């Protein structure tokens, strides 16, 4: 007879819960590895952690966007700000109708048209929105811009006011950029939460934004958060890509990086 293995019950009792042999590797990653088990099942703590992460992800999607929290953070950076709105009038409608988050409300469209002469022709138009995680926008947008805007200013770039736009999708950057005749549009939005990353920000930019631009014309730097790509590193990467995009006069799949361009910003 073969001796009993660690997973076979002895004396009618189930095997003890124990950690996985990979446990010490968890210090190097936030991925769900080395979860351990109790018999053929997850350990209780593993299951509870999973349910907590799932609840946090759901809360991030449904959490109302506190624009009154974001705007003072941006003004402390010395940024001029302006509020805009989309055709989505509620969080529920925004989640059910993605198309409404891609269009400015008539009032906001009129506001930009009336002020376009003051802001037109600047290098960059930036919008900040909750997207699919208001927590990400509220906690990561200001730290990212605090690092990014000085890098671009040193390169001679001018920036429109930072537009705070609840219930926006990435495509909205094309309409805003077009109305202001900005050379680039940059959208900072909360990304769809993962299990363990409910506060992840995505940064999407487009060269010469307009109605005919598609996702193939955009570049994205994602997972911007302290536990992912920290704001300082994300800002440096974004600045590299934006300056390279200006040089090559394109963005998206046509933008080509080289070793020289990657090291352009120290």
Q: Domain coordinates of the chain in residue numbers?
A: 62-262
* CATH number, span 62-262: 3.40.50.11240
262 pLDDT more than 60: no
pLDDT at position 15 over 80: no
pLDDT recorded at residue 69? 93
Contact 180, 120 (CB under 8 A): yes
b/e code 51-84 from CB counts within 10 Å (16+ = b): eebeebbeebbebebebeebbebbeeeebebbeb
Three-point CA angle 31, 262, 184, nearest 5°: 95
Instruction: Give CA–CA dist 120/254, Å, rounded.
Output: 26
| Percent of residues, the chain, with pLDDT higher than 70 | 89
- Say what percent of the chain tops pLDDT 90: 64
- Mean pLDDT over 243-265 rounds to 82
**Total-model pTM:** 0.82
Tell me which of 143 and 35 has the higher pLDDT: 143
Chain centre distance of CA 131:
8
Per-residue pLDDT band for 51 (boundaries 50, 70, 90) equals confident
188 falls in which pLDDT band (50, 70, 90)? very high
Predicted confidence (pLDDT) at residue 250 exceeds the cutoff of 50: yes
Residue 169 pLDDT greater than 50, yes or no? yes
* 241 closest CA partner among 199, 197, 203: 203
What is the rounded average pLDDT of the residues 144-148? Answer: 98
pLDDT greater than 50 at residue 3: no
């Amino acid at each position: 007879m073969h001796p009993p293995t660690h997973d076979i019950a002895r004396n009618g009792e189930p095997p003890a819960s124990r950690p996985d042999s990979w446990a010490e590797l968890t210090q190097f990653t936030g991925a769900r590895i080395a979860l351990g088990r109790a018999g053929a099942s997850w350990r209780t703590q593993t299951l509870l952690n999973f349910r907590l992460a799932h609840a946090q992800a759901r809360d991030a999607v449904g959490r109302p966007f506190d624009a009154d929290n974001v705007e003072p953070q941006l003004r402390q950076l010395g940024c001029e700000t302006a509020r805009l709105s989309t055709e989505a009038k509620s969080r529920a409608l925004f989640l059910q109708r993605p198309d409404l988050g891609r269009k400015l409300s008539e009032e906001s469209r009129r506001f930009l048209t009336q002020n376009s002469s003051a802001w037109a022709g600047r290098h960059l138009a930036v919008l900040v929105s909750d997207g699919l995680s208001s927590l990400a926008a509220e906690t990561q947008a200001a730290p990212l811009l605090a690092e990014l805007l000085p890098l671009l200013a040193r390169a001679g770039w001018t920036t429109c006011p930072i537009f705070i736009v609840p219930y926006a999708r990435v495509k909205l950057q094309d309409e805003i950029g077009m109305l202001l005749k900005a050379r680039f549009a940059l959208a900072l939005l909360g990304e769809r939460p993962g299990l363990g990353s409910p506060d992840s920000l995505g940064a999407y930019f487009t060269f010469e934004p307009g109605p005919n631009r598609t996702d193939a014309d955009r570049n994205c730097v994602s997972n911007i958060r302290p536990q992912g790509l920290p704001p300082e590193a994300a800002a440096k990467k974004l600045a590299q890509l934006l300056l390279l995009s200006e040089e090559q006069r394109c963005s998206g799949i046509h933008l080509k990086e080289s070793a020289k361009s990657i090291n352009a910003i120290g």
